[in-house]
Structure 1
Amino acid sequence: MHVFPVLICVMLLRLSEGALIFNYHSKPYDQGALDEYNVLRFLGVSSPYVQHPGFGIGRATPNGCEVTQMNLISRHGERYPTTSQGQTMERNLARLRFNITERLDGPLSFLPTYDFVALNPELYEQETTSGPYAGLADMFSFGETMRYRYDHLVRDASQLKFYPSSQKRIVDSATWFAHGFMGSSFDNSSIIPIDEFTNMTGANSLTPVNSCRNYNSRAEIDTISRYSKEFMSDAAKRMNKSTPGLNLTSDEVWSLFTHCGFDLNIRGVSTLCEIFTADELISFAYLYNVETYYGQGPGHNMSIAIGSPYVNAMIKMLDDDTRNLTMSFAHDTDIFFILSTLGLYDGNGPLPVDHLDLNNAWRVSDLMPMGSRLIMERLECSGNKYVRFIHNDAVIPIPTLNKGPGFSAPLKEFKHYITKRLGDTSYASACGNPDDLPNELTFYWDH
């Protein structure tokens, strides 16, 4: 009998759930797929920036093409919790932090004395400035990268403008991005905040939802509530069994999970992230998917209308040869609406709430981590014009329109596609806004 040592000596790698797989990672072409276990893939909108896994389409400009225009809209960088998020976590975790006095024995006995660094009211709403995922540093680096990629589009650096919505963290993100993009030639006058603290800007805003009278974020709450939260109570039972006396509730488990993401934003590591099983992380991530799909995504009947002012402005921009760079900065909710208008992730239909559809394209951790960025490029190839979307560093084709170079969309067909998606819908009519509110986005041309 012949024994093949190479088969006997195959190395095994232990993964988080105790599963064993062959060591596929020391070969010329890696056979592993360990990124599916990356905790950043499960933290939704709280996650530090992580690239979209994409489809393997090259990020480089397609052969024979030139990028002649680039339009960016970016979420702010990694941050502390918002005030409401922080207060909810403070309330939910108060018993755990202050009322457990007896000594616990078990793998989670560290929780009552854990340093919940995100629960600092003085820093709520602000960008993070420390750790490997520091928000302001990430935005600076992003600006540098964008200058490297699109330097050929800079005609007169002194005329460049950066457009953030006016909340401080958005302005801070835009400013640090601009520092990276402009280097020593940065001038603070290039930052043009667009007011988001009024409901009178109408469509002429990066935050048009704030002026939309008819929008109700809870319109689909009955659908959202049908997604079972039983996984949270099951997680609490598992944790309580492992560490008697802990007595966690579902609300406490939810806040521990939420704090995990902010831990990473602030210091880069988190013991909290390690207390959840893979199944629990998947269930938490899917809850984010459901809440956003039916709150600001394709599952809300007003999402396309609310995202239309920006998309219509970009349609106009694509025909404007006097402008080849726009760089804008807003909130996750605003970009969700834009994605809905574009239809990049409509994919395989409505997101189920009675079971988990893990193949659905609407995966929030891929779509909207901190620092999420959506780029629309205009390509010119052999005299023809095309549109290409790059979302979180991955080329994302329009599902039904991708026959151009590098799976781009022919510009003329893209315009028709958007017209068809909007139909008779207009932002002003859908929102029920009065006639004296702006009904289109013009600030790129106004400033």
Structure 2
Amino acid sequence: MQHRFLALAMLASADAAVISTYTTVITSSVLPPYFQSTPEVFQGPTPTGSEPFLAQTNPVTFSGATTTTFFPASPLQTQEPIQDQPAGDNIFTQMGNIGPYRSSPGFGVDEYPLPNGSEIVWMNMLARHGSRYPTDPNPLGSLIPGSGATFSGQLSWLNNWTYVLGTNILTPLGRQELYDSGVLHNYQYGHLFNPNSTTKLVLRTTTEDRMRKSAQNFAAGFWGLGYDEYAQIEYIIDETGFNSTLSPTNLCVNNNNYRTSAGQNVSTEWIGNYTQNAVKRLNSMSSGFTWNASTVYSAQQLCPYETVALGYSEWCDLFEWQEWEDFEYSIDLDFAGTYGFQSPTSRAVGVGYVEEVLARLNHHLITNATAEVNVTLDSMNSTFPTNQNLYFDFTHEVDLFSTLTAFSFRQFAPLLSATSYQANRELIVSHMVPFGCRLNIELIQAPAPVPTNRSGGWSGYESGEPTTYIHFVLNQRTLPLGQSIPACGDRADGWCELSTWMQAQADALTLADYDYACNGNYSPPAWGAITNGVPPSS
């Protein structure tokens, strides 16, 4: 018996030694081979194929509402029964800037494949981060739980409801949206990337967590988990007072004060009117809690926020179809007056990114301080390369919206009515800047002029010299340049000759009047007083 205890003690001692040795290996970051991911030992043959170029090689005639050919399984439940919802429609087409990504239904022109002999030679993407939690906790999260209120009927589930959303960071769907976008962009433009380049492609984003993770998930989708072998992500400070074209509202003082209040004011008035029936309806099922326009609007916001975070929300079917259309319209009014053509600061906020695109097209650095451009970074090739064929930048939706204004997409300029719903309108925020939205700018080189009207089918090039065109694509649909810049002409494909477009952008900085717009002392313009995205004359 004594020998048996001695043997067990020796075994225990031996096990302890093994554990101690293994712990030392782990803590010294020298993993055993069965846990080691790099270097990749015994990986087998790894020959890769040619990078795809779907944006150029796709022969499909695009005549439908989307350019995708199938719909993958979605983790979200978005088919709640909504009173008076039109057949085939969905309330998640009415969520403004807080709805999950979907390709736009279009901006007034058909899509055309690239003519044989033409080629895409350059592409610049500006994208928004993916679906996130609210930037601030929803007020109902603290007003309802623990209030002692009781609810009945369609609101009975609220008796046990708790608020479980986080703040600001990406939801699982947000990560997926950007990963999927990276995969899509590889299929669309992968051929423009040279995997044998001696320098890494520079991607730019900001320092906020959701911005970092969006760029990282995009890169993983485009290149795979080992993306840092091919790409370097640049993180630009995203804080008040710091220069950055990817978060330019931080530096524009007047964009954050009462001088841009017109949009928010008419939106608040709109909310107060359209929620009246919902206020009565919800109050009839509530005891100890009184609904008003503000709390009803907060309830509507919880529908998309809970859905992108949890996959489903019981808040969604509390509202009728028209109330969801009015919800979208309230966001459209706000964006038009704060970041669009009815805002005195919108061109100023977006013009810095316009400057950067022009600098990239002209292959030059930016050395003079203008607008919110960070000259420290944009004057160095390492942080602002101008010789890439692909550029990937990540921003916020309000900044992308202002950039569209600064690019003079005047089809979104017509004034929205503050008192009656406009069904036929160009400016619909959910079509433009939902979560995960992206603006792609392509350069297309053609061996000769491409006919302006291709609606009857391809009939060949016109006679003339080789021509370079610029093509804007927002959420996978063409933004027609001729509708906003008359000099581009009435082209069926929405393209514009590059030289014509560049000339139209020549006075973008002057027109924005950055210093006065962002720092000037002027009275807040009334709704409708501004139609060009700049303040009244100084």
> What number of residue pairs does the alignment pair up?
389
Query: What's the secondary structure of 2:100's corresponding residue?
Result: coil
- Which residue does the alignment assign to 1:61? 114
How does the TM-score come out when normalised to structure 2?
0.67
Q: Do the aligned partners of residues 143 and 290 (structure 1) sit closer, same or farther apart at CA in structure 2, a change above 3 Å counting?
A: same
> Percent identity between the aligned chains?
25
Corresponding residue to 2:499 among 387, 412, 421: 412
2:145–2:162 CA contact under 8 A, matched in 1: no
Corresponding residue to 2:157 among 95, 104, 110: 110
Give the distance between the partners of 1:243 and 1:373, measured in 2 at CA.
42
Query: What's the secondary structure of 2:126's corresponding residue?
Result: strand
Q: Do the aligned partners of residues 347 and 249 (structure 1) sit closer, same or farther apart at CA in structure 2, a change above 3 Å counting?
A: closer
How does the TM-score come out when normalised to structure 1?
0.80
Corresponding residue to 1:255 among 281, 298, 306: 298
Are 1:219 and 2:302 an aligned pair? no
Query: Which structure 2 residues correspond to residues 16-415 of structure 1 after superposition, within 5 A?
Result: 16-18=82-84, 34=87, 37-54=89-106, 55=108, 57-58=110-111, 60-82=113-135, 85-86=136-137, 89=138, 91-100=139-148, 102=150, 104-118=151-165, 123-129=166-172, 134-156=173-195, 159-187=200-228, 190-201=232-243, 204-222=244-262, 224-226=264-266, 227-228=269-270, 229-241=272-284, 247-320=290-363, 322-344=387-409, 346-347=411-412, 349-382=414-447, 383-398=466-481, 399-400=483-484, 401=488, 403=490, 406-415=493-502
2:204–2:394 CA contact under 8 A, matched in 1: yes
Query: What's the secondary structure of 1:374's corresponding residue?
Result: strand
How far did 1:97 drift? 2.2
Q: Do the aligned partners of residues 358 and 152 (structure 1) sit closer, same or farther apart at CA in structure 2, a change above 3 Å counting?
A: same
- Residue type at the aligned position of 1:279: Q
CA deviation map 1:19-70 (0-9, x unaligned): 8xxxxxxxxxxxxx845x3212211111111221104622643554211111
2:260–2:345 CA contact under 8 A, matched in 1: no
Larger C-alpha radius of gyration, 1 or 2? Answer: 2
How far did 1:170 drift? 0.2
How far did 1:184 drift? 4.6
2:441–2:473 CA contact under 8 A, matched in 1: yes
CA deviation map 1:282-334 (0-9, x unaligned): 11111111111111111112211221111122122223383211100011111
Give the distance between the partners of 1:345 and 1:276, measured in 2 at CA.
33
Query: What's the secondary structure of 1:299's corresponding residue?
Result: coil
Give the distance between the partners of 2:343 and 2:163, measured in 1 at CA.
35
Give the distance between the partners of 1:415 and 1:221, measured in 2 at CA.
33
Give the distance between the partners of 2:201 and 2:156, measured in 1 at CA.
54
Range moving further from structure 2, 406-415 or 208-217: 208-217
1:293–1:299 CA contact under 8 A, matched in 2: yes
CA deviation map 1:355-401 (0-9, x unaligned): 22222211111111111111111111122111111111111112143
Unaligned runs of 5+ in 1: 1-14, 20-32, 434-447
Query: What's the secondary structure of 2:245's corresponding residue?
Result: coil
Query: What's the secondary structure of 1:294's corresponding residue?
Result: helix
Q: Larger relative contact order (C-alpha < 8 A, sep ≥ 6)?
A: 1
- Residue type at the aligned position of 2:306: D
Range moving further from structure 2, 423-432 or 181-190: 423-432
Give the distance between the partners of 1:64 and 1:427, measured in 2 at CA.
42
Range moving further from structure 2, 205-214 or 358-367: 205-214
Q: Do the aligned partners of residues 366 and 423 (structure 1) sit closer, same or farther apart at CA in structure 2, a change above 3 Å counting?
A: same
How far did 1:16 drift? 4.1
How far did 1:99 drift? 1.9
